[in-house]
Structure 1
Amino acid sequence: MEKHEVLSEHLSDLSGNLISRRVVLAGIGGTFLAGSVLPLFSAKALAAANPRGANAGVTTWSANRLDIFGIGTDDAMYHKSWASAHWSPSIPGWEGLGGAFINPPSAVSWGTNRLDIFGIGTDDAMYHKAWTGSRWAPSPTDWENLGGLFNSPPCAVSWGSNRLDIFGLGTDNAMYHKAWTGSRWAPSPTGWEGLGGVFNSNPSAVAWGPNRLDIFGLGTDNAMYHKAWTGSAWYPSGGGWENLGGVFNSNPCAVAWSPNRLDIFGLGTDNAMYHKAWTGSAWYPSISGWERLGGVFNSDPCVVAWGPNRLDIFGLGTDNAMYHKAWTGSAWYPSISGWEGLGGVFNSPPRAVAWGPNRLDIFGLGTDNAMYHKAWTGSAWYPSISGWESLGGVFNLF
């Protein structure tokens, strides 16, 4: 693997200005089920000319199960699921979950038949809804107010059954944290723990085992910063952050494929993909160095691991098609700098999830702003290497 010299070009600060637009429903066919909703999806796009950020939440709680969430033009949350053999409520339909949101959602599952969704309301507070196994709580259209004032989308992660950790940037651009401990919200139902820092990007959080958390974000110098919960304390301190170098042009994306293993990805100022790994005892290629993986990208990266020593990375090229690279356990496929073209033309970055070994599901918005889906079935891409399945709706970016 190549060693990447730390980038030295600094970016201007990201714009906080948001724009919105509405799109006419077009090009969606299929049969509607009774009670299904076919929403038009809206979002607020960053006015700054940085690579595009994600717009939807995707999670899985068992084999052959997928749950997708997005925000409608009425600013409400919408949901679709794949359960064994069919899309529910229908291929083009979406279930309305109420609320009014200004940022993309974050979805997580801590066990079978359990979902937790978080979003930032129009009052900039954090809101939460859960699927308990038989119903939506607090109700199909109501949301639990978790307080706070936020300047970023939420980032939720779970390290065990009945455990949730949520992160977001406050109006001071510092990092804030709340946890569900199994019986209560800590530090309180509406309170948040300050973790310090001043950030230019959304947070990315990951758990590689029980009672372990790792959080990443870009500082005002656009370098990558890291903090960890070690099981008893925050490292390097409650308010401190470890500098991992680099200068980046995208939100970070972190993943763990086993205990004591981390992989972090981001776009450099040349819009190529860069990578760093925690190997269990040291940062590779160094604490401040990054491995260059080539490509020229127009979106944030999305990374997923379906097993030990396996990584799959997705992003949009300058032609807005989807591209893919995999770490196979001993080498990068198709090469350290090469990328596999998966076709399509997209208006949003990808979201990817794995519900088992050798299985991948990828989602993105087409030029008609409908949701599209592709799956790796274990031996081939479905519906084809360049084809995509339309799941209806009309979305915009955040």
Structure 2
Amino acid sequence: MPMGEGTIVWSSLGGTWITAPHVVELGADKIALFTVGTDHIIRVRWRIDGEWGGWTVIPGEVIQVPHAVAGTGDCLDMFAVDPKYSIQHRQWRAGEWTEWQSMTGEAGGPTLTAPRAVWSTPTRLDIFVLGTNLGIWHKYREDSGWSDEWSSLGSLWLTPPHVLSRGPGRIDAVAINSQSGLSHARYQDGEWSHWQTDDAISISRPFAVESDDRLHVFVLGENRGVYHYTWDKEWTEPTPLRGTVISPPRAVAWPDGGIDVFVVGQNSAMFRRAYRGGVWHEWQPIGGRAFSPPSIIARDRTVELFVLGADSAIWHTEVSVD
């Protein structure tokens, strides 16, 4: 893999993997990196105080990379889909993994992708999944008890939702509907709003961040270009960011209102584009050869990127932003 542009250096974390990586930050000095081997079994690698440990096995076959979120303290909730297309849940607590627990109830039939999870309050974890009937389904855990049933958020969706919480008891969900339109729904005061849809054609799963109390959403259009939307009670006209890319975009929002977007270009190299003071700067090359969208953690104006490389290993770099 090329070392990138300028002082940006990519390093290999080794292995031979069949899925994109998924990274979760438990605190300033601890992260967990997940991927899946050729045996369809999850591996995790921990970095504690800047030092990487070895890859360890989490037993049980899966069909996709798991999705994990950090809770309070040294705790993780991880969700995966087994070869029978059932949703499985496991926790990291007090330095140990619990056993796999099957998520009971009907979630629109068998499931192909792991649920996406978000903490909507300090004690409530909400999860969302796209079933094979193309319905989006929702379930939540309050303290230690899961809700009895999955609730439907509509049918005939092309992508799983991307979700985030912008305050206690508030959730924003964005997804692509069956007409390829970018749609948004909001959970507040115990109720879901109706979906609001933009008419433009979108062809990738959207990615959303919050900045300046607005929702900023990034998605690929028909021409495989990146488009930037904002949602503040209604959709704005999309801003084309030009260029042609081969991966769905990922983004990071900063407290000062800045945003950085990361994509894989046609040459398989990573690129970054910065949004500062309401103005988009030009694309900047980061180099490397990525065969997956990046998994990202960000802190102190530094972004860490993890991707699946051309050699099926996981590669990593750090990018400082202004």
For the criterion TM > 0.5, the same-fold answer is yes
Q: Which residue does the alignment assign to 2:248?
A: 300
Normalized per residue, which structure has more strand? 2
Deviations 1:41-66 (A, max 9, x none): 225xxxxxxxxxxx232221222332
Q: Post-superposition shift, 1:282?
A: 4.7
Q: Post-superposition shift, 1:377?
A: 4.7
| Partner amino acid, structure 1, of 2:38 | T
Query: Which runs of structure 2 are paired with 1:38-187 in the superposition (5 Å)?
Result: 40-43=16-19, 55-89=20-54, 94-138=55-99, 143-147=100-104, 148=107, 149-186=110-147
Q: Post-superposition shift, 1:253?
A: 0.8
Q: Post-superposition shift, 1:197?
A: 2.8
| Partner amino acid, structure 1, of 2:247 | S
1:315 to 260, 263, 279: 263
Q: Which residue does the alignment assign to 1:244?
A: 198
TM-score between both structures, scaled by the size of structure 2: 0.89
Deviations 1:169-224 (A, max 9, x none): 112101001111112011x2xx4211113111232111111111111111111111
Q: Which residue does the alignment assign to 2:223?
A: 270
**How many matched pairs?**
308
Deviations 1:53-93 (A, max 9, x none): xx23222122233221111212111111221220122xxxx
Question: In the alignment, is the contact (CA less than 8 A) between 1:64 and 1:83 conserved in 2?
Answer: yes
| Aligned: 1:366 with 2:309 | yes
* Alpha-carbon separation, structure 1, partners of 2:193 and 2:256: 25
| Partner amino acid, structure 2, of 1:244 | D
Question: In the alignment, is the contact (CA less than 8 A) between 1:80 and 1:87 conserved in 2?
Answer: yes
Residue 361 of structure 1 aligns to a residue whose secondary structure is: strand
| Aligned: 1:198 with 2:180 | no
| Partner amino acid, structure 2, of 1:59 | V
TM-score between both structures, scaled by the size of structure 1: 0.73
**Closer, same or farther: CA 271–378 of 1 in aligned 2, 3 Å:** closer
Q: Which residue does the alignment assign to 2:8?
A: none
Q: Post-superposition shift, 1:256?
A: 2.0
Unaligned runs of 5+ in 2: 1-10
**Closer, same or farther: CA 65–257 of 1 in aligned 2, 3 Å:** farther
Unaligned runs of 5+ in 1: 1-27, 31-37, 44-54, 380-398
| Partner amino acid, structure 2, of 1:76 | I
Question: In the alignment, is the contact (CA less than 8 A) between 2:306 and 2:316 conserved in 1?
Answer: yes
* Alpha-carbon separation, structure 2, partners of 1:235 and 1:322: 36
